[in-house]
A and B are shown apart, each in its own frame.
Chain A
Amino acid sequence: MAVVTYRQALHDTLQAELRRDENVLLIGEEIGVFEGSYKITAGLLDEFGPRRVRDTPISEEGFAGAAVGAAMLGLRPIVEIMTINFSLLAIDQIVNHAAKMHAMFGGQVRVPMVIRTPGGGGQQLAATHSQNLEVYYAHVPGLKVVAPATPADAKGLLTAAIRDDDPVLVLENLALYNTKGEVPDGEHTVPIGTAAVIRSGSDVTVVAYSRGSLVALEAARRLEADGISVEVVDLRSLRPLDRQTVCASVRKTTRAVVFEDDWLSYGIGAEIAATIAEGAFDRLDAPVRRVAAAEVPLPYAKPLERAALPDATALVRVIHETLDASGFTAHPAASTVG
């Protein structure tokens, strides 16, 4: 196990898969000479050359769709879309084409492609560059959507995505690139479609993904001092969604709060809350709560931006409210558990 950044884990995974499989190639804006807007692809052009690390013009629809066609002929393209905001320029190719072809053509063709793209706000990039649009893609049958929170899962899920024969969107996050964590050496894949309990607890379940999972861990640490035991479920995969793991956790803790970086209405949290209503209603001691972004085009000014984005403080408050709603009393003696 080495401790590396999320960025490094992504880079090393791309490098390993490019070395492993001649059919793997990278396509995207500024990924070669410029080494990537966020430097994920640094050095890869030098090692693999322009045939396998292909810089593109600013043509998201064109190059995302070109990846679809290349995948139809058996290549395994990995597309970098500079941020998820720009994926809207390519959404026709992703939703109307990549997601449809295997089914619509009766299984005659496969589209083994990966789209890597970061979401996330908080960088003072204002309304058009700070969105969390993963639900647009998580809604669509035919796509798979994964959202790793840790460097280890970044490696494991990206590897699984590259080797999968379906179009997979790998959601990264600007705030995660510099985070560090242990990453298993050698071969490491994480099965798409499986969530993980990343902290065990007994009083309340926080369901989160991507950056939100780190926020949930932070909230859990703060609450531990108050004698509150928080279990954290990291979804890791948004489509397919591991409902069993979510519901098993909530059935144990009897309370649930969803933390999500997207907007509240129709967001990931709405799906999780419905899932809990379907799978754990009879065990709930309090209504499911959601902590999500304020529903505004994200402003540039720092105080406004900060006010709009969900954080650990808001999560801690909502966990307290959820516990209070069910007459919960903390037990300081139990605070070391978990």
Chain B
Amino acid sequence: MDAIQERTASRPSAASAGEDAQLLRDYYRQMTLIRSFELRAAEMYTRAKIGGYCHLNLGEEATVVGLMAALRPTDYLFTTYRDHGYALARGADPGRVMAELFGRATGLSGGRGGSMHLFDAGLRMLGGYAIVGGQMPPATGAALAIAHRGGPGPDSEAVMCLLGDGTTNIGAFHESLNLAAVWHLPIAYIIVNNHLGMGTSVEAASGEPALYRRGSAYRIPGARVDGNDVIAVRDAAQAALDQARSEHRPRLLEAVSYRLRGHSVVDPAQYRSAQETQRLRAQDPLPAFRAYLIDHHILEPDTAVRIDEEAERAVTAAVDFADASPPPDTETLFDHVYATEVANTYRGLPGDTPIGPAVHAGSGGGE
């Protein structure tokens, strides 16, 4: 464990001294919204309103908000399956995100993707990806498209590709970094290191557990930042993106973060000791940021309470919207399987036959 990982680090960096107060309050608002949303998502999952898998950003709010604050609207974002907070901080409507989790027609993707596959074309959030590392080659290809169309410079678009600590061991990680290096692509790969791939620790899984160094084989500069420090995360991500866009060279950033709960809602995280759990709670970035802002008179206590209540109200409204939304019509089952219609696409339901009754009509010999 190095110094950065050992830091309790639940305070924003000194850089916040010169920060715009309104901006800091807005970061707090976003972090609070994510916290409320995720707690409610867990509740909705246990009430079977949400199906499948459900992975939460609880404990990672500073990382999520800091990273999203670094993106320009014209940049592209690819995320992992732990994606709710990113969608919210990128500006997606909480109601439509919750509706996607509920599998409703009003969800971001009409209920076709669910929790792990949030996508909002208008926000250039090009997907949550649930095959670990699956997002890396497409994100690299998005950066290729940007480079194909224009050169580097301060106005170039860029791609942010998020990945978990476990992803650094998959082939797609290495192939993508190498391609981005040899093709000179404007992309920032961000490792959100929450220390655990499901229950496997970074140390147990990685020959080089200092993950930000893992781009060195491709001469990709790496940096590590305290993921509990929203300002530090934002600044580090912005620096990585700015270098990527101005040079069309990839960057690697590791945000050291923590998830407060299990891998998914159903995981009780018994691989963690009670002591470890207590330690994680003690460095929870949300109350720490709240206390910091109040201590520094950036946030009045009653304003903080108001922001907390507004988040709760927004999440309640999101749940109400999702709950009131209709499920997708089964008539739409075959919508979007293909973008270009061609002849002879089979659209049978279970038990149907692709070429039966119509041909057999009046069977007995004649056509």
Contacts and interface: CB of A to CB of B under 8 A. Distances in A.
Contacts of A56: 179
A279 B359 contact: yes
Specify which of B137, B144, B148, B182 lies most central, judged by the most chain A CB atoms within 10 Å of its CB.
Answer: B137
Nearest to B183: A54
Interface stretch (A5-13, A31-39, A71-79, A315-323): A71-79
B274 interface: no
Contacts of B110: 106-107
A178 B178 CA distance: 36
Contact of B340 (A61, A92, A166, A244): A166
A286 interface: no
A280 B353 CA distance: 13
A73 B176 CA distance: 17
A174 interface: no
Nearest to B124: A73
A108 interface: yes
B30 to A, nearest CB: 24
B113 interface: yes
Contacts of B109: 104-106, 108
B17 interface: no
A62 B172 contact: yes
Nearest to A192: B342
A278 B355 contact: yes
B148 A96 contact: no
Contacts of B360: 279, 281-282
A142 B134 contact: no
Contact of A73 (B146, B340, B343, B356): B146
Interface in B163-213: 171-172, 175-176, 178-179, 182-183
Nearest to A252: B367
B112 interface: yes
A144 B345 CA distance: 10
Nearest to A75: B145
A97 B131 contact: yes
B123 to A, nearest CB: 11
Given A110-B339, A240-B343, A278 B171 contact: no
Contacts of B343: 191-194, 240, 242
Interface string A137-177: 00001101000000000000000000011100000000000
Interface in A206-262: 237, 240-244, 247, 251
B172 to A, nearest CB: 6
Contacts of B121: 105, 108-109
B73 interface: no
Interface in B30-55: none
Interface in B338-359: 338-340, 342-346, 353-356, 359
A103 interface: yes
Contacts of B144: 66, 69-70
Contacts of B134: 65, 92-93, 96-97
Interface string A88-116: 00001100110001111111111110000
B133 to A, nearest CB: 8
Contacts of A192: 342-343
B137 A72 contact: no
B156 interface: no
Contacts of B367: 251
Given A110-B339, A241-B346, A73 B145 contact: yes
A275 B354 contact: yes
A293 interface: no
A25 B137 contact: no
B136 interface: yes
Contacts of B346: 240-241, 243
Nearest to A56: B179
A64 interface: yes
Contacts of A68: 137-138, 141
B112 A106 contact: yes
A283 B364 CA distance: 9
A282 B365 contact: yes
Given A93-B134, A103-B337, A193-B343, A275 B148 contact: no
B336 A69 contact: no
A97 B335 CA distance: 17
A240 B348 CA distance: 13
A51 interface: yes
B142 interface: yes
Specify which of A61, A62, A72, A166 lies most central, judged by the most chain B CB atoms within 10 Å of its CB.
Answer: A62
Contact of B179 (A63, A96, A112): A63
Contact of A107 (B117, B145, B335, B345): B335
B108 interface: yes
A109 B140 contact: no
A212 B354 CA distance: 24
Given A65-B136, A142-B337, A243-B354, A105 B113 contact: yes
A278 B353 contact: yes
Interface string B278-290: 0000000000000
Contact of A103 (B129, B139, B336, B354): B336
B333 to A, nearest CB: 10
A247 B359 contact: yes
Contacts of A237: 344
A165 B33 CA distance: 38
A283 B359 CA distance: 11
A166 B139 contact: no
A57 B356 contact: no
A308 interface: no
Contact of A104 (B76, B117, B145, B353): B117
Given A65-B172, A237-B344, A283-B365, 17 more contacts: A65-B138, A66-B144, A69-B138, A72-B145, A97-B134, A103-B337, A106-B112, A107-B339, A108-B121, A110-B339, A112-B339, A165-B339, A194-B343, A240-B342, A240-B343, A240-B345, A282-B365
5 contacts: A70-B142, A73-B146, A166-B338, A192-B343, A194-B343
The 6 closest A-B pairs by CB, nearest first: A65-B137, A69-B141, A62-B175, A106-B109, A69-B138, A66-B141
